[in-house]
Amino acid sequence: MTPAPAAAAKNIKNAAEGETKVTDEELHQITQKISDELDKLYNSEKPLTKEEKRHRQILSLRKQTLQKIREARQKGDAFQERDLAVAYGLLTSLGEKHPFLATFLRTKFRWNVY
């Protein structure tokens, strides 16, 4: 995990706790970095390893979570925004280590990522 998404995850976690709020520009930058990483994985000429497939799945979930945070913010739904911020924090800190977490979050938020 690169430092920028880790710092952003901390900012989002803090937003969930009511301390600071990530700006829309920061959300866009983080989403763009994740998109770039996903493009590298999708455009790989060699077959992906099991770890790379898991990493791709986690990145996709993180990207969807950020998009849903932006949508919740636009709707003014603070509860959903906080809930998704917590989910994003879990994905960034534990997603790679605990594959079950991704399954749980997909079920909770009804995400479809392949």
Q: Domain-by-domain residue ranges, the chain? A: 3-109
Q: Give residue 86's pLDDT band: very low, low, confident or very high (50, 70, 90).
A: confident
How many whole angstroms separate alpha carbon 84 and alpha carbon 88?
A: 6
Predicted confidence (pLDDT) at residue 111 exceeds the cutoff of 70: no
- pLDDT mean over 67-82: 89
The predicted structure's pLDDT at residue 36: 92
Predicted confidence (pLDDT) at residue 112 exceeds the cutoff of 50: no
Burial of 110 (0-12, 13-18, 19+ CB in 10 A): exposed
The predicted structure's pLDDT at residue 114: 35
Output the DSSP codes for 3-33. Answer: HHHHHHHHHHHHHHTTS----HHHHHHHHHH
Whether the full predicted model's pTM is greater than 0.85, yes or no, is no
